[in-house]
Amino acid sequence: MEEKTSTSPAPAMDEDDVWCKETVPKVLKLVCCSPSLNQKDLISLLFVSPFLYRTLLSSQPLWQLLNFREFNNAGNRLIAALSLPRYQHVKEINLEFASDIEDTHLILIKQKCFDSLQSLESLNLNGCQKISDTGIQAITSCCPRLKTFSVYWNVRVTDTGLLHTVTNCKHIVDLNISGCKNISDRGAQLVAENYPKLESLNLTRCVKLTDVGLKQLLQKCLSLQSLNLYAVSSFTDEAYKKICLLTRLTFLDLCGAQNLSDQGLKCISKCKNLVSLNLTWCVRVTDEGVIAAAQSCTSLEFLSSAMQIYSFMLCLVVCWAAAGEVSPEGAQTWLQGVDKIFRAMVCCDAQKVLFGTYMFADEAEYWGENARQRMDAVGTVITWECFKGEFLEKYFPADVRSKEIEFLWLKQGSMIVADYAAKFEELSRSVLTTIQGEPKVLSV
């Protein structure tokens, strides 16, 4: 008889083997394939197991972003992070609206973390209003490979800050100085002379610029694909006609170009690759110029002209004045008025958002821009309904609305008079507080 051979089962993997051979590779695959995984969650994974810790740290691409957007104490957090070995090759730093970051933080970064920024390609300092030319000098001196630089809404940055930037960072292709109202033609000249390969430039509300500065940019930055001149009304046709030199241009925002004429627009229409053209509030442009642009720029997907919004803007000014200051009551009044206007007009969603926010000013204007950027960042399609939801949540939050509704529908019912009076007093104080402009309901 043949002797039967017994096959014993393979020994089961112990827990460490399971982690090393199965769990860790799966987690790493999920992490690498999930661009939406935020920085906090990624760091939390380091503490799950020693195996995962070592594996994640060895994956350099995971540690190329430092995002402290809207963080408190962002300056000290950034210094601490850049001191860690895993961030020695960081490529992107986002400090947008990290309002407490100051020049001193950037100077300390230069002193302590100079080497960590040698690979940095993108730096976002939007809304960091405590940073001046001194801070710009310190941080740009550490970033020789910087390609994208954004300092939106910073009135302390001047031409001197741009001088430091062009001196220290030779490879900028995307520059956003929107709202930097102290940038002049000298700053424009510096950009023009040093960044011939610039692809995107945002000059929104750079109100000190004139034709002289713009012409230098248009004659030397011939690689521009995106140019934003929103709310800069000082330029004339003499400069606008030079836009035709930008043969690669796909995006052009001329909202508020009050001196642009049909002749200037016809020259701009030679930019055959334009996909988006904003002519809102270009009051001298007529049907003749718009038709010429539409016929010549055959790739256009978005064209907004002034003629369709004259009556709308007139109504909106009245509506804005009626709403008064931005408060819960004013926010609700304003939205109701704008919705009423939209019901009488034919507007797409993109136009509603554009027209509806045109009259924003000061804090409301910057909140609106921040909200748009935030929704864009997560891939949200910005419809008017979506924007209204964000607006109400900011200026008329749900807890305030619920208190107001509760107050309006308050009935004594089975409550004794004393309880009813106490409830009435509580709700009335809450509602009156919000109407007077306080952002939150008072606790009684």
| Residues 90-108, mean pLDDT to the nearest whole number | 96
DSSP 8-class letter at 71: -
What's the confidence (pLDDT) of residue 337?
73
Q: Which token pair is 66?
A: 């430092």
What's the confidence (pLDDT) of residue 301?
85
What's the confidence (pLDDT) of residue 91?
97
pLDDT of 441 over the 50 cut: no
Three-state SS string over 248-273 comes to CCCEEECCCCCCCCHHHHHHHCCCCC
Burial of 376 per CB tally in 10 Å (0-12, 13-18, 19+): exposed
| Residues 90-110, mean pLDDT to the nearest whole number | 96
Going by pLDDT thresholds of 50, 70 and 90, the confidence category of residue 245 is: very high
pLDDT in tens, 25-76: 666 666 666 666 677 777 777 667 776 777 777 778 888 999 999 999 999 9
Going from the C-alpha of 171 to that of each of 159, 246, 369, the distances in angstroms are 18, 20, 27
Please report where in the chains the tokens 């970051």 appear, as a residue.
Answer: 101
pLDDT of 422 over the 70 cut: no
Domain-by-domain residue ranges, the chain?
39-138, 173-305, 311-396, 400-435
CA separation for the pair 56, 321 (Å, rounded): 55
Please report where in the chains the tokens 């999920």 appear, as a residue.
Answer: 30
Give which of 152, 153, 120 is closest to 139, Cα–Cα. 120
| Residues 325-347, mean pLDDT to the nearest whole number | 66
Cα–chain-centroid distance for residue 300? 24
CA separation for the pair 105, 109 (Å, rounded): 6
User: Between these two residues, 336 and 290, which has the higher pLDDT value?
Assistant: 290
Give the alpha-carbon dihedral of 30, 34, 38, 41, to 10 degrees: -10
Burial of 431 per CB tally in 10 Å (0-12, 13-18, 19+): buried
What's the confidence (pLDDT) of residue 313?
46
Going from the C-alpha of 122 to that of each of 100, 107, 204, 238, 377, the distances in angstroms are 20, 18, 20, 34, 15
Asked whether the beta carbons of 87 and 61 are under 8 A apart, the reply is no
CA separation for the pair 342, 334 (Å, rounded): 12
CA separation for the pair 87, 97 (Å, rounded): 22
Q: Which token pair is 440?
A: 């939150």
Top CATH class, 173-305: alpha beta
User: Between these two residues, 18 and 189, which has the higher pLDDT value?
Assistant: 189
What's the confidence (pLDDT) of residue 97?
94
What's the confidence (pLDDT) of residue 405?
47
SS3 158: strand
What's the confidence (pLDDT) of residue 433?
46
SS3 51: helix
What are the backbone dihedrals phi and psi of residue 206, each rounded to the nearest 5 degrees, phi first? -85, 80
SS3 116: helix
Q: What is the secondary structure of 317-373 as a DSSP string?
A: HHHHHHH-SSSHHHHHHHHHHHHHHHHTS---HHHHHHHHTTT--HHHHHHHHHHHH
Going from the C-alpha of 404 to that of each of 308, 400, 410, 426, 441, the distances in angstroms are 38, 6, 10, 11, 10
Q: Which token pair is 237?
A: 């046709």
| Residues 196-220, mean pLDDT to the nearest whole number | 98
CA separation for the pair 142, 346 (Å, rounded): 51
What's the confidence (pLDDT) of residue 41?
74
